[in-house]
Amino acid sequence: MALNLGVLVSGRGTNLQAVIDSIQKGSLEAEVCVVISSKQDAYALKRAEKYGIPHYCVLRRDYKRQKDFEREMVNLLKKHDVELVVLAGFMTILSPYFVNEFKNKIINVHPSLIPAFCGKGFYGERVHKAVLDYGVKITGATVHFVDEGTDTGSIILQQAVQVLDDDTVESLGARVLKLEHELLPKAINLFARGKLKIEGRRVKILD
């Protein structure tokens, strides 16, 4: 049985596309059942439409309370029988309410080697700028479970890329993004096959 995915997005949706491509190639036994965007103009919604995937835009400003905003998303995810929630460039921090509705069933991809360059304020190009400003020699991408904190959940997969002397935010970001596109489907596949075991802060990958 294919794993039912719900993908939360806010932007271009390139990680969503990477997941769809992996499914179509047969390397990922899953189905994207629903895509939810926090922004009306997210190109990710057009990607969902192209593939006939049910898609919704849920805006925080339309709800008085954060919990009401999140409850709408939870209801949509449950309506489509989602078994794993994938944050693919989703720019809204989720509250403990949402996290507990899908405990240990939410994963996120982040463009650095957590715990470096992560947490509040570290997203998108800001991450790569901080990496270059600090002068580190390696960065990378991380896929992790989502908990009540910001980028604090248990790490599933990580991989490094070298920071080059002539890197710009754009060139570094492009290499890290390519890595994200590889790691996210791989992590979803491990979850789908029941190969992930959480022990405290550690995630063990089973044979």
What pLDDT shows up at residue 204? 98
pLDDT given for residue 75 in this prediction: 98
Q: What is the sign, positive or negative, of the torsion defined by CA atoms of 135, 14, 186, 175?
A: negative
**Is 110 one of the catalytic residues?**
yes
> How do strand 84-87 and strand 138-145 relate by DSSP bridges?
unpaired
| Residue 1: predicted pLDDT | 85
Residues of the chain with pLDDT below 50 are none
Using the structure block, give the residue that is written with the tokens 């996120």: 108
Beta bridge partners of 205: 196
Burial string for 120-148 (b: 16+ CB within 10 Å, else e) reads eebbeeebbbbbbeeeeeebbbbbbbbbe
Catalytic: which of 110, 128, 144, 181?
Answer: 110
The pairing of beta strand 138-145 with beta strand 202-205: unpaired
Reported pTM: 0.96
Amino acid identity of residue 26, one-letter, is G
CB 200 within 8 A of CB 182: no
Which phi and psi (to 5°) does residue 187 adopt?
A: -65, -40
From edge to edge, which strands make up the β-sheet containing 55-57?
Answer: 55-57, 30-37, 3-9, 84-87, 106-110, 138-145, 155-162, 202-205, 196-199
Residue ranges and CATH numbers for the domains of the chain are 3-205 (3.40.50.170)
Give the pairing type, strands 3-9 and 84-87. Answer: parallel
Distance CA 184, CA 68 (A): 29
Tokens matching residue 86: 């994938």
- Res 195: pLDDT: 98
CA pseudo-torsion sign 120, 96, 74, 201: positive
